[in-house]
DNA sequence: GAGCACTGC
C-alpha cells in the first residue's frame, strides 16, 4: 500500500532575502533534505511514493535541490555520516531525520514569545482609522512570502484531493505553511467556491466555513492573527479564534482557529449549543433558533463545512475524542444530505445539511493509524517541510550520570573548533535542570579568557515568566548560550539560534495507578520514544545545519518504542467520558483510534456514578448536565454545584480557581524553605490547605485592588503592579498561579451567572459549608486517623501521610480530605483539609454502601 | 518531614 503522496518540495531557490544563511557559512544551497526514512518508509514495507508536481506552479524540477524532492530522499540511504567525537566513546551515526530546509522568515519577536507559530503572527488590530489600507499593503507584502512556502507549490493538488474526498490526511513539517495556507486555499480557490456554489445556491460568495483546531492556545491565536494579516482583514472578522478566556470571532467569521477543547465543548456542552443557536439567529439567515441540529445528542456542527484537525500526531486526549466524534458527525451529515432530509429542522431559509469535510494534519510520522481509522484507502498527502540537516550521534556506552555527561558534552561542543550556535539540553525535570545549570556555570567560570563565555539558562514551565523570557533576549557578545530544558522545548516553545541538541533521552510523565478507591499519582522519570527523540533532534535544524548528541546508545535507541502512548491510554477519562455521554455516545461502543481499555472507561463511570452525574452508561442526570456547564473536572464541578445549596459559592469558586490554576500557591524552594514557612504562617487556616490558599488569594486580591485604585487616582501609573509583585516575593507566593486563578475565577463567576446562580453568596468566616462542599466532590479522597497517628483511606485500605508541604502536617485531626494522592517515598496526600467524619453519611455512595463505612469508629 | 513533566475547557 502506498502510504504517502509527495506533493511539494521545500524550495531552496535563492533570491529570497530572508532566507539568507546565518553567519556560519552554510548557504541555503548546501542545505540538504532527507526525511525520517525509518518513519515514513520502513525498509521492509512496500511503500511506493509518487512525486507530483503542481502544474499551476512556475517551479520546474530545476528549481529544487536534487535531494529536496521527497522521492529522491526516500530512495537515498542516509550515507553522509559525519564523525564527531563523543564524550564516552567513538560512535557515529548519521541521522535519518534531516529534512529539506530553508530558514524560516525571520519575523520580529515583539513579546519574546517563543512559539514557532506565534513568531509568524503579526496581529492586525480591528478597526482603527486608515487600517484597511494598511492591512491591504501588509497582505500584499506577505503574499510574496506565501508563494515561497512549500505548501504553495502543491496547492492545486491538495485542493483537488480534499474536494474529491470526505477525509484527507495531510502530512507536513513545521514551516511548510499548511496551518496558515490550507484554510485560505479552501476559502478562496475557485475550485472551492464552485464546489460550495453548487451547494449554497444563492449565497455562493459566502464560501465554506472552516474550523481549524490546535492543541494549544497560543498557536491558535497566533495562526489566526497571521492569516488575518495575510488576508488583509481585521482579526475577529473573516478570520477569528476561540480559545479559553478569549473569543475573537463574529458572525462574519469563516475561518475559525480554536483549541481542541473548545470544539469538544461545542460538541457536548448545552451552553455551547445555545451560543451557536443565538449566533445563527444573529446573522439573519434563519428565522429561529433551530438551525442547529442535535442528532441523538450529537451536535452536527452545521456551521462548519470543513473541519481541520491540526497537529493530530500529538494525539492529545481531545484529538482522539474529536476524531471519533467527527467521524460520526460526518457520517450522519452525509446520510442526512443524501436522504434529502437534509433540511435543518424548522429553518425558514431552507438551509440544507451539507456534508462535512475533514482534514487531519500531522507531522510526517506514520499516517497509517489515521488512514485506517478514517478508512481513506488512499495516500496521505505530504508537503515537505523546511529543515536544515541535523546529524545525530549516540554514545558508545550506557551513561549512568546523565547530568554530568550532558555537562561534559556541552563543554566539548563549546570548546570544539569552529562550533557556532547555541546548545539546547533536554533533561527530565527541574531538579536535574538546576543541577546541570549549576554544574555548567561552575565549569563556565573556569574557561580560559580567550574562550567564548557560556551563558547557562534553565527552562521549565514552573519558572517565573521573567526567567523564561531570558531565552528570547539577545545573547551577550562573545557568549554562547546553553539552555537546559524540559519537554517544554520539545513542542510548546521554540528556542531561536539552536545548532546543537544534547538529549538525555529522559522525560517525566505522570502515571495513574487506578484502584477502586481512586487514583494514585506518580510522576516518574521515563525513557522517551523514537518519535520524541527525532522531535528533540529536529530542534537543532531550524535555523542552520545542526548536530544532536544523544546520551544513550544506538542499541537503547533501537529499543525505544516508536511513539509515545496516546494520552487517552494514560490519563483520567472521567471528564471526556462525561462529555461523550452528553454527545449521546456510549463510551464502550465509541470508535477509538486506540482504545483506552475497559478498565479506564469503567473507572470513569465509577467516578461519574459516585458523583451522581450519570445514572447509567448512557444516561446523564440533571446534576451531570449541570456539571457540564463548567470547565472543571467532574469532582470539581460537583463541588461547585454543592456550593450553591451550601451558601459558599464565593469561597468555592476562589478555591477551585486556585486548584485549577496549574501551579502551587506557595513557592517551595529548598534554599529558602525556612523563610518561606515563616511567611506562610500568617495565612495559615486551621482547617487546612484549601482555606489557607484562600487566605492568600484574598490578601492578594485586596492588595491588587488598592494598588489599582490608588494608581488610578493619582494617575501617575508609577508603582502599579510593583507592589503586588513585591508582595508575592516577600511572601513566597507564586504570582503566576494567582494571576491564572483570577482568570478562572472570572470565567466561573460568569458561568454561574448564566446558570442563574449567585456567585456572591458567601459563607463569611464559617468554614463548615466550604468543607462540606469540598467533600461532596472529593469523598473518594478521604482518610481517617488511626491510633498511631497515621491516616487510613476510607474508600481504600492504604495508609497515607499528610504531605509535609501541608499546613496540617503534624496536626492530628480526625479526618482529612485531599486533592491528590501521590506516591513517592510514601503515600502522600497533598492539598489537605479537615472534615467531620459523620458528613460522609450524607454522601450517596457511602450512604448506600452502609456497612463499609468506618463512620463512628473515630479514634479521637 | 518532602522532591513537581506538559497541556486544555
Q: How far is residue A440's CA from residue A411's CA, in Å, rounded to a whole number?
A: 8
* Range 306-325, chain A: CB under 7 Å to any strand B atom: 316
User: Do residue A498 and residue A519 come from a single domain?
Assistant: yes
Instruction: Please indicate whether residue A15 or residue A297 has the higher confidence score (pLDDT).
Output: A297
- Note the CA–C1' distance, A589 to B9, in angstroms: 24
Q: Are A800 and A828 in contact (CB under 8 A)?
A: yes
Residue A717 has pLDDT above 70, yes or no: no
Q: Are A635 and A777 in contact (CB under 8 A)?
A: yes
User: Looking at A73-82, A139-148, A172-181, A806-815, which range is the least confident one?
Assistant: A73-82
User: Do residue A242 and residue A207 come from a single domain?
Assistant: yes
Residue A58 has pLDDT above 60, yes or no: no
Per-residue cell: A417: 573548533
3-state DSSP percent of chain A in helix, strand and coil, to 5: 40, 15, 40
CATH of the domain at A454: 3.40.50.300
Contacts of A820 (CB under 8 A, 6+ apart): A521, A781, A829, A830, A831
Single residue among A629, A663, A678 that ends a domain in this structure:
A629
User: Do residue A711 and residue A739 come from a single domain?
Assistant: yes
User: Looking at A45-54, A119-128, A539-548, A701-710, which range is the least confident one?
Assistant: A45-54
Q: Of all helices (H) and strands (E), which one includes residue A513?
A: strand A506-515
Instruction: Please indicate whether residue A551 or residue A296 has the higher confidence score (pLDDT).
Output: A551
User: Residue A384 domain-assigned?
Assistant: no
Interval A720-762: pLDDT, tens = 446 888 999 999 999 999 999 999 999 999 999 999 999 999 9
User: Looking at A93-107, A379-393, A664-678, which range is the least confident one?
Assistant: A93-107
Judge if the beta carbon of A680 is closer than 7 A to nucleic acid strand B.
no
pLDDT computed for residue A175 by the predictor: 79
- Note the CA–C1' distance, A798 to B5, in angstroms: 26
Judge if the beta carbon of A804 is closer than 7 A to nucleic acid strand B.
yes
Q: Are A809 and A802 in contact (CB under 8 A)?
A: yes
User: Residue A711 domain-assigned?
Assistant: yes
Q: Characterize the bridge pairing of strands A619-620 and A614-616.
A: antiparallel
Highest mean pLDDT among A100-114, A516-530, A642-656: A642-656
User: Do residue A549 and residue A579 come from a single domain?
Assistant: no
Q: How far is residue A392's CA from residue A529's CA, in Å, rounded to a whole number?
A: 16
Residue A163 has pLDDT above 80, yes or no: yes
Q: How far is residue A630's CA from residue A613's CA, in Å, rounded to a whole number?
A: 13
User: Residue A602 domain-assigned?
Assistant: yes
- Lookup: nucleotide whose C1' is closest to A576 CA: B9
User: Do residue A433 and residue A522 come from a single domain?
Assistant: yes
Per-residue cell: A389: 540537516
- Note the CA–C1' distance, A428 to B5, in angstroms: 7
Q: Are A222 and A118 in contact (CB under 8 A)?
A: yes
Residue-range definition of the domain harbouring residue A303: 175-362
Single residue among A568, A603, A620 that ends a domain in this structure:
A568
Judge if the beta carbon of A671 is closer than 7 A to nucleic acid strand B.
no
- Note the CA–C1' distance, A833 to B4, in angstroms: 20
Structural domain count of chain A:
5
| C-alpha neighbours within 13 Å on the C-beta side of residue A353 | 27
Residue A788 has pLDDT above 60, yes or no: yes
Residue A102, by phi and psi: left (phi above 0), alpha (psi -120 to 50) or beta? beta
* Range 455-484, chain A: CB under 7 Å to any strand B atom: 460-462
Interval A567-588: pLDDT, tens = 999 999 999 999 999 999 999 9
Task: Count CB atoms within 10 A of the CB of residue A249.
Answer: 20
- Note the CA–C1' distance, A724 to B7, in angstroms: 28
User: Do residue A403 and residue A493 come from a single domain?
Assistant: yes
Cross-strand bridge partners of residue A823: A827
Mean pLDDT, rounded, for A76-97: 30
- Note the CA–C1' distance, A320 to B5, in angstroms: 21
> Taken in order A483, A485, A490, A494, is the CA torsion positive or negative?
negative
| Three-state secondary-structure class, residue A243 | strand
User: Residue A582 domain-assigned?
Assistant: yes
Query: At A502, is the pLDDT very low, low, confident or very high (cuts 50, 70, 90)?
Result: very high
pLDDT computed for residue A346 by the predictor: 40
- What is the rounded radius of gyration, in angstroms, for the C-alpha atoms of chain A? 28
- Note the CA–C1' distance, A15 to B1, in angstroms: 65
User: Do residue A223 and residue A257 come from a single domain?
Assistant: yes
Judge if the beta carbon of A636 is closer than 7 A to nucleic acid strand B.
no
User: Residue A247 domain-assigned?
Assistant: yes
Judge if the beta carbon of A789 is closer than 7 A to nucleic acid strand B.
no
Q: How far is residue A741's CA from residue A737's CA, in Å, rounded to a whole number?
A: 6
- Lookup: nucleotide whose C1' is closest to A433 CA: B5
CA-to-CA separations, A5 to A8, A34, A320, in angstroms, rounded: 9, 15, 24
Q: Are A68 and A129 in contact (CB under 8 A)?
A: no
User: Looking at A241-250, A342-351, A409-418, A528-537, which range is the least confident one?
Assistant: A342-351
- Lookup: nucleotide whose C1' is closest to A266 CA: B9
Residue-level length of chain A: 860
User: Do residue A610 and residue A525 come from a single domain?
Assistant: no
Interval A121-147: pLDDT, tens = 344 444 444 588 888 888 888 888 888
- Lookup: nucleotide whose C1' is closest to A825 CA: B2
* Range 821-840, chain A: CB under 7 Å to any strand B atom: 822, 824-826, 828, 830
Instruction: Please indicate whether residue A83 or residue A223 has the higher confidence score (pLDDT).
Output: A223
User: Residue A183 domain-assigned?
Assistant: yes
User: Do residue A243 and residue A340 come from a single domain?
Assistant: yes
Instruction: Please indicate whether residue A182 or residue A76 has the higher confidence score (pLDDT).
Output: A182
Query: At A17, is the pLDDT very low, low, confident or very high (cuts 50, 70, 90)?
Result: very low
Highest mean pLDDT among A75-84, A260-269, A707-716: A260-269
Protein footprint on strand B: which nucleotides are under 7 Å from a CB?
1-9
Instruction: Please indicate whether residue A614 or residue A717 has the higher confidence score (pLDDT).
Output: A614
Mean pLDDT estimate for chain A: 79
Query: At A279, is the pLDDT very low, low, confident or very high (cuts 50, 70, 90)?
Result: very low
Sequence-ordered strand ranges (E) for A333-378: 357-362
Q: Are A22 and A546 in contact (CB under 8 A)?
A: no
Taking the alpha carbons at both ends of chain A, their separation in whole angstroms is: 70
* Range 411-450, chain A: CB under 7 Å to any strand B atom: 428-431
Q: How far is CA A242 from the centre of its chain?
A: 15
Mean pLDDT, rounded, for A602-613: 94
Q: How far is residue A449's CA from residue A772's CA, in Å, rounded to a whole number?
A: 65
- Note the CA–C1' distance, A788 to B1, in angstroms: 17
User: Residue A635 domain-assigned?
Assistant: no
* Range 505-544, chain A: CB under 7 Å to any strand B atom: 507-510, 523
Question: What torsion, rounded to 10 degrees, do the Cα atoms A811, A817, A820, A822 define?
Answer: 50
Single residue among A551, A568, A585 that ends a domain in this structure:
A568
User: Looking at A89-103, A322-336, A728-742, which range is the least confident one?
Assistant: A89-103
Interval A423-451: pLDDT, tens = 999 999 999 999 999 999 999 999 888 88
Per-residue cell: A559: 529499543
Q: How far is residue A242's CA from residue A813's CA, in Å, rounded to a whole number?
A: 46
Mean pLDDT, rounded, for A766-791: 95
Q: Which of A409, A417, A418, A386 is nearest to A503 (CA)?
A: A409
* Range 261-280, chain A: CB under 7 Å to any strand B atom: 261-262, 264-265
Instruction: Please indicate whether residue A55 or residue A544 has the higher confidence score (pLDDT).
Output: A544
Per-residue cell: A279: 449566533
- Note the CA–C1' distance, A859 to B6, in angstroms: 42
User: Do residue A281 and residue A422 come from a single domain?
Assistant: no
Q: How far is residue A631's CA from residue A232's CA, in Å, rounded to a whole number?
A: 34
pLDDT computed for residue A463 by the predictor: 92
Task: Count CB atoms within 10 A of the CB of residue A152.
Answer: 23
User: Residue A378 domain-assigned?
Assistant: no
Residue A270 has pLDDT above 70, yes or no: no
Q: Are A96 and A406 in contact (CB under 8 A)?
A: no
CA-to-CA separations, A88 to A92, A165, A404, A419, A501, in angstroms, rounded: 12, 53, 11, 19, 16
- Note the CA–C1' distance, A397 to B3, in angstroms: 29
Mean pLDDT, rounded, for A483-494: 94
pLDDT computed for residue A72 by the predictor: 25
Q: Which of A663, A654, A612, A626 is nearest to A760 (CA)?
A: A654
Contacts of A633 (CB under 8 A, 6+ apart): A572, A574, A575
Percent of chain A with pLDDT over 70: 76
Q: Which of A29, A27, A68, A71 is nearest to A48 (CA)?
A: A71
Q: Are A134 and A122 in contact (CB under 8 A)?
A: no
User: Looking at A18-32, A316-330, A592-606, A801-815, which range is the least confident one?
Assistant: A18-32
pLDDT computed for residue A714 by the predictor: 57
Contacts of A405 (CB under 8 A, 6+ apart): A87, A88, A395, A399, A504, A551
* Range 549-588, chain A: CB under 7 Å to any strand B atom: 575
User: Do residue A612 and residue A697 come from a single domain?
Assistant: no
Q: Are A700 and A738 in contact (CB under 8 A)?
A: yes
Q: How far is residue A455's CA from residue A464's CA, in Å, rounded to a whole number?
A: 18
Task: Count CB atoms within 10 A of the CB of residue A211.
Answer: 23
Residue nearest to nucleotide B6 (CA to C1'): A488
Residue nearest to nucleotide B5 (CA to C1'): A508
User: Do residue A203 and residue A288 come from a single domain?
Assistant: yes
Amino acid at each position: 500500500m502506498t502510504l504517502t503522496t509527495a506533493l511539494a518540495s521545500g524550495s531552496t531557490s535563492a533570491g529570497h532575502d530572508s532566507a539568507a544563511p546565518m553567519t556560519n557559512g552554510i548557504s541555503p544551497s548546501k542545505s540538504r533534505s532527507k526525511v525520517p526514512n525509518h518513519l515514513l518508509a520502513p525498509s521492509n514495507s512496500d511503500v511506493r511514493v509518487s512525486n507530483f508536481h503542481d502544474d499551476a506552479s512556475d517551479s520546474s524540477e530545476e528549481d529544487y535541490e536534487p535531494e529536496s524532492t521527497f522521492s529522491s530522499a526516500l530512495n537515498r540511504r542516509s550515507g553522509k555520516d559525519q564523525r564527531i567525537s563523543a564524550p564516552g566513546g567513538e560512535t557515529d551515526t548519521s541521522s535519518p531525520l534531516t529534512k529539506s530546509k530553508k530558514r524560516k522568515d525571520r519575523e520580529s519577536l515583539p513579546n519574546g514569545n517563543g512559539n514557532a507559530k506565534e513568531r509568524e503572527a503579526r496581529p492586525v488590530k480591528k478597526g482603527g482609522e486608515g487600517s484597511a489600507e494598511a492591512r491591504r499593503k501588509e497582505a500584499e507584502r506577505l503574499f510574496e512570502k506565501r508563494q515561497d512556502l512549500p505548501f504553495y507549490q502543491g496547492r492545486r493538488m491538495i485542493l483537488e484531493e480534499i474536494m474529491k474526498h470526505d477525509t484527507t490526511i495531510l502530512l507536513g513539517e513545521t514551516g511548510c505553511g499548511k496551518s496558515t495556507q490550507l484554510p485560505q486555499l479552501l476559502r478562496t480557490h475557485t475550485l472551492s467556491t464552485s464546489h460550495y456554489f453548487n451547494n449554497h445556491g444563492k449565497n455562493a460568495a459566502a464560501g465554506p466555513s472552516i474550523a481549524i483546531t490546535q492543541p494549544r492556545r497560543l498557536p491558535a491565536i497566533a495562526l489566526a492573527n497571521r492569516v488575518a494579516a495575510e488576508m488583509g482583514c481585521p482579526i475577529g472578522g473573516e478570520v477569528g479564534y476561540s480559545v479559553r478566556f478569549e473569543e475573537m470571532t463574529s458572525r462574519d467569521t469563516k475561518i475559525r482557529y480554536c483549541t481542541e477543547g473548545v470544539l469538544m465543548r461545542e460538541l457536548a456542552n448545552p451552553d455551547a449549543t445555545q451560543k451557536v443557536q443565538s449566533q445563527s439567529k444573529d446573522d439573519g439567515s434563519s428565522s429561529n433558533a433551530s438551525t442547529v441540529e442535535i442528532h441523538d445528542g450529537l451536535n452536527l456542527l452545521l456551521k462548519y463545512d470543513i473541519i481541520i484537525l491540526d497537529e493530530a500526531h500529538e494525539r492529545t486526549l481531545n484529538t482522539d475524542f474529536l476524531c471519533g466524534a467527527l467521524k460520526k458527525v460526518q457520517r450522519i451529515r452525509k446520510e442526512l444530505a443524501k436522504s434529502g432530509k437534509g433540511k435543518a429542522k424548522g429553518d425558514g431559509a431552507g438551509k440544507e445539511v451539507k456534508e462535512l469535510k475533514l482534514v487531519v494534519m500531522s507531522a510526517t510520522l506514520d499516517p497509517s493509524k489515521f488512514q485506517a481509522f478514517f478508512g481513506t484507502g488512499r495516500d496521505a498527502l505530504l508537503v515537505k517541510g523546511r529543515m536544515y540537516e541535523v546529524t545525530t550521534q549516540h554514545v558508545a556506552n550506557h551513561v549512568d550520570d546523565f547530568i554530568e555527561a550532558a555537562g561534559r558534552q556541552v563543554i566539548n561542543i563549546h570548546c570544539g573548533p569552529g562550533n557556532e550556535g547555541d546548545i539546547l539540553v533536554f533533561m527530565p525535570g527541574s531538579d536535574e535542570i538546576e543541577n546541570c545549570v549549576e554544574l555548567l556555570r561552575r565549569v563556565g567560570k573556569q574557561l580560559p579568557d580567550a574562550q567564548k563565555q557560556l551563558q547557562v539558562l534553565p527552562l521549565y514551565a514552573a519558572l517565573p515568566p521573567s526567567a523564561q523570557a531570558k531565552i528570547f533576549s539577545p545573547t551577550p557578545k562573545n557568549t554562547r548560550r546553553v539552555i537546559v530544558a524540559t519537554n517544554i522545548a520539545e513542542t510548546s516553545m521554540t528556542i531561536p539560534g539552536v545548532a546543537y541538541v544534547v538529549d538525555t533521552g529522559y522525560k517525566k510523565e505522570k502515571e495513574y495507578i487506578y484502584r477502586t478507591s481512586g487514583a494514585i499519582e506518580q510522576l516518574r522519570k521515563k525513557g522517551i520514544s523514537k518519535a520524541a527523540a527525532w522531535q528533540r533532534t529536529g530542534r537543532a535544524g531550524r535555523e542552520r545545519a545542526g548536530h544532536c548528541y544523544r546520551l544513550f546508545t544506538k542499541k537503547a535507541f533501537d529499543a525505544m518504542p516508536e511513539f509515545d502512548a496516546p494520552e487517552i491510554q494514560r490519563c483520567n477519562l472521567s471528564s471526556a467520558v462525561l462529555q461523550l455521554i452528553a454527545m449521546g455516545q456510549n463510551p464502550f461502543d465509541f470508535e477509538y483510534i486506540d482504545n483506552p481499555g475497559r478498565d479506564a472507561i469503567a473507572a470513569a463511570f465509577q467516578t461519574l456514578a459516585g458523583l451522581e452525574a450519570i445514572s447509567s452508561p448512557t444516561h446523564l442526570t440533571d446534576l451531570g448536565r449541570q456539571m457540564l456547564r463548567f470547565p472543571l473536572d467532574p469532582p470539581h464541578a460537583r463541588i461547585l454545584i454543592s456550593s450553591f445549596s451550601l451558601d459558599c459559592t464565593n469561597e468555592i469558586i476562589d478555591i477551585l480557581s486556585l486548584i485549577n490554576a496549574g501551579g502551587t500557591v506557595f513557592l517551595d524552594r529548598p534554599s529558602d524553605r525556612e523563610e518561606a514557612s515563616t511567611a506562610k504562617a500568617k495565612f495559615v487556616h486551621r482547617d487546612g490547605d484549601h482555606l489557607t490558599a484562600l487566605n492568600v488569594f484574598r490578601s492578594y486580591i485586596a492588595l491588587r485592588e488598592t494598588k489599582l485604585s490608588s494608581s488610578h487616582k493619582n494617575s501617575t501609573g508609577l508603582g502599579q503592579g510593583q507592589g503586588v509583585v513585591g508582595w508575592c516575593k516577600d511572601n513566597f507566593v507564586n504570582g503566576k498561579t494567582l494571576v491564572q486563578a483570577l482568570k478562572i475565577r472570572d470565567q466561573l463567576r460568569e458561568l454561574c451567572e448564566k446558570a442563574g446562580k449567585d456567585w456572591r453568596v458567601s459563607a463569611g468566616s464559617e468554614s463548615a459549608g466550604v468543607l462540606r462542599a469540598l467533600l461532596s466532590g472529593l469523598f473518594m479522597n478521604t482518610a481517617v486517623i488511626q491510633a498511631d497517628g497515621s491516616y487510613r483511606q476510607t474508600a481504600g485500605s492504604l495508609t497515607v501521610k499528610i504531605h509535609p508541604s501541608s499546613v496540617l502536617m503534624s496536626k492530628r485531626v480526625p479526618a482529612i480530605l485531599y486533592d491528590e494522592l501521590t506516591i513517592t517515598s510514601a503515600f502522600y496526600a497533598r492539598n489537605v483539609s479537615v472534615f467531620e467524619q459523620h458528613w460522609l453519611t450524607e454522601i450517596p455512595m457511602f450512604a448506600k454502601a452502609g456497612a463499609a463505612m468506618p463512620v463512628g469508629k473515630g479514634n479521637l
